Structure 1
Amino acid sequence: MQPESLRSEELFFTVPLTGWSGGEPFSQSALTALEQGQIISLPELGFPLNAKEMRCLNEGTVKKGRKNISYRALSGKITGVAHPQDEDLIRGLLQRHHQACETLVRSLLPHYTGALHTPVNTLRVHPVTAWKKGSSWRKDDTRLHVDAFPSRPMQGERILRIFTNINPHGESRVWRIGEPFTAVATRFLPKTGHYSPWLCALQHKLGITKRYRTRYDHLMLGLHDAMKSDAEYQLSGLQLEVRFPPGSSWICFSDQTPHAAMSGQFMLEQTYALPAEAMADPQRSPLKILEKLTGALLL
């Protein structure tokens, strides 16, 4: 059975930026689309690498057993680099991408300036197909899901991500995009299971989670798992396959936009946390949507 399709115009808001420093006037429509769960598509916004940086685009760059290289801009800490002699070069690359993303946010999403926090930049060099090998279904990101982290409860905060395809061989990043968050939540909330405040407190005390897992986090993690474990939904749920070519970027709230990475290799990714109350319309946050559907406060 072939899955029913969504329309591209329902999923994307396209902005014709060609440079990270802006040039396109701020658009309230872009901000509204993003908060409604759409993806801001930046089809002409690439991030060129110099010759030395290009040599880092190989799987041997990443430490064995790790999925990617991560850089924390506030501390300058970098993790996941296989060879110490490459650290300064890759740190410089990720720092440069972080600074470009900061400039982009100030231009395109000025409403969030000063509210976004805990920036993490990521260099992904493995092909998507390598992620599936030896991974459980929970870690299989080729399955449609909304982002939620078992060890890092968000406590109602948003996950904003800026992606850039830096593939030097002309290969697109292929995603599947799913139905609106409210439809996902309505479908899968009954499968999220019982919430135990006592167990969550114990997990935090033992260091299993970095923060206390609220009922909101329990529900988000439950949605993530229920979506991934439902084979029929993965095949026949409302969805659309999309391609992001090299030299393009895109932005989304990955905790709200159902997505699955199907193929591709080499990508830069900037992740931010955003308090829900810092949104232009906090009522569109997963927190408020779930509170409306459950009829309960979740924090």
Structure 2
Amino acid sequence: MNSGRDPVTEAGPVRGPRPDLADALERGEIVFFPVCPVELPPHEDLERLRSELPRQLRAKNVSYHPESRRLRGVASRGGLRDAVLDTLTAHGARVRAFLRECMPALTEGWTVGTTSFRPIQERGRGLSAHASNELIHFDAGAYGATDGDRILRFFVNVNPEEDRVWCTKGTFPDVFARYGREAGVANGGALGRGPVDRLRGRLLRAVAKAGLGEAVLADSSPYDRLMRRFHNYMKDTPSFQERDETWREIRFPPFSAWMVLTDMVSHASVSGQHALVDTYILRLAACRHPELAPINILRGGPPPGARGPNITGAGQR
């Protein structure tokens, strides 16, 4: 993120295909919408999520899993659970339609992941380091094995009063150039699957087809394990988390939205409560700039001129 200028750039309303937004994501930019471009759930449904779910939480977040058509993370049964399920499935469908419309090429062949609601204040949650959103990291293994495909997340701050606050220390090429060797990921070796990984993948896909859809989330690959090592190094290393010249804060106001490749942009959610989050796995083959993808950075080493992320605005009030 270049210092000395406003990191938020308005790009106008989104109507129809916008390949520039796909390119911005691949370059490691955060595409920001001052007003969410997707119709939000009705006020009463949002109020139910904000007021009732925190008392019924069984996990870090509440998530709808489309591969099994199940809602995870809610303790209660009956009315509340059914209402939350309806709210999340409807919101997820609207986000998918929007992304397909504005980025048809990048979303070709994607895997649709969870639609989640994050009901708890991020600041001071007291989670373990590896589970904490407050520590800067790259996402790894967000939806099972990616094998080098990209992790896209679409966020909406549905808190009516409070900003959601992130911080970042740069994009993958930049962070890898500075810390890859110390983290033990600079010489990753072969990143393709060997016989054991291929066998595990086939078995898990068979189990998923037999009815246990979430079995695919247990899959892994050499690339995903290397990214998890980098993720854990970042969260486990206090010196990495310190503020320096690369550290930047980003504030997302109420009812704004943003999308980002979270395997590309280092990030932490340092404060904020009540956010909707949709996760997708984008095919590397659908990318126009595959040379910028982490798997190819790991294979070839950091490119010259690595830089931090920009924020590209893609909407207006």
Candidates 187, 211, 230, aligned match of 2:178: 187
TM-score w.r.t. length of structure 2: 0.78
Contact 2:33-2:258 at 8 Å conserved across structures: yes
Task: Quote the residue 2:89 is aligned against.
Answer: 95
Q: Which runs of 5+ in 2 are unaligned?
A: 205-214, 304-317
Q: For the residues of structure 1 that align with 2:228 and 2:296, how far apart are their CA atoms?
A: 16
State how far apart, in whole Å, the 2-side matches of 1:8 and 1:260 are. Answer: 22
Mean alpha-carbon deviation: is it higher for 152-161 or for 264-273?
Answer: 152-161
The residue identity in structure 1 corresponding to 2:43 is N
Query: Is 1:231 matched up with 2:223?
Result: no
Alignment of structure 1 residues 43-82 onto 2, 5 Å = 43-45=34-36, 47-58=40-51, 60-61=53-54, 63-82=56-75
Shift of 1:55: 2.3
Residue 252 of structure 1 aligns to a residue whose secondary structure is strand
* Aligned residues of 1:13 and 1:38 also touching (Cα < 8 A): no
Aligned residues: 281
Q: Hey, what does 2:157 align to over in structure 1?
A: 165
1:270-285 mapped onto 2 (5 Å cutoff): 270-285=278-293
Secondary structure (helix, strand or coil) at the match of 1:138 reads coil
Q: Which whole-Å CA distance do the structure 2 matches of 1:160 and 1:123 have between them?
A: 16
Higher relative contact order (CA 8 A, sep 6+): 2
Deviation of residue 150 (structure 1)?
8.5
Tell me the amino acid that sits aligned with residue 253 of structure 1: L
* Cα distance change on mapping 1:10 and 1:160 into 2, 3 Å: farther
Offset, 1:31: 1.7
How far does residue 173 in structure 1 lie from its aligned partner after superposition? 0.3
Seen in structure 2, the aligned counterparts of structure 1 residues 59 and 67 have a Cα distance that, compared at 3 Å, is farther
Q: CA deviation at 1:121?
A: 0.2
Distance change in 2, residues 1:56/1:8 (3 Å): farther
User: Partners of 2:263 and 2:134 in 1: how far apart?
Assistant: 16
CA distance 1:12–1:26, shift in 2 (3 Å): farther
Q: Is the 1:60–1:82 Cα contact (8 Å) retained in structure 2? A: no
- SS of alignment partner, residue 272 of structure 1: strand
Cα distance change of structure 1 residues 64 and 51 upon mapping to structure 2, 3 Å threshold: closer
Task: Tell me what 1:35 maps to.
Answer: 26
- Match of 2:314? none
How far apart are the structure 2 equivalents of 1:277 and 1:116?
A: 10
In structure 2, do the counterparts of structure 1 residues 45 and 16 end up closer, same or farther at CA, with 3 Å as the change threshold? farther
- What one-letter code is carried by the residue in structure 2 that aligns with 1:124? R
Superposed CA offset, 1:43-70 (max 9, x none) = 1116253324412313645644411111
Does the Cα contact within 8 Å between 1:10 and 1:38 map onto a contact in 2? no
Gapped regions of structure 1 (runs ≥ 5): none
CA contact (8 A) 1:70 1:80 kept: yes
- Structure 1 residue 157 displacement after superposition: 1.4
How far is the alpha carbon of 1:209 from its aligned partner? 7.5
Match of 2:103 in 1: 109
Change (3 A) 1:158 1:225: same
Aligned partners of 1:165 and 1:139: how far apart in 2? 21
Q: Helix, strand or coil for the counterpart of 2:301?
A: helix
For 1:163-216, what per-residue CA distance to the aligned partner results, in whole angstroms no more than 9, with x for missing partners?
A: 001013x10100002212111112222222688999x86xx69999812331x2
Distance 1:9 1:154 in 2: 35
Are the aligned partners of 1:180 and 1:258 in contact in 2 as well (CA < 8 Å)?
A: yes
Counterpart residue number, 1:7: 3
Q: Root-mean-square deviation (CA), in Å?
A: 3.2
Structure 2: distance between partners of 1:122 and 1:280: 28
Q: Distance in 2 between matches of 1:210 and 1:262?
A: 28
Match for 2:289: what amino acid?
Answer: D
Paired residue secondary structure (1:139): coil
Match of 2:76 in 1: 83
Which position in structure 1 is the counterpart of 2:207?
A: none
Quick check: 2:46–2:158 contact (8 Å CA) kept in 1? no
The residue aligned with 1:257 is: 265
1:268 to 276, 281, 303: 276
Listed one character per residue, the Cα deviations across residues 226-284 of structure 1 (whole Å, up to 9, x for unaligned) are 22222222223412101101111000000110001010100000000112111122122
Summarize the Cα distance change of 1:36–1:90 in structure 2 as closer, same or farther, 3 Å threshold: same
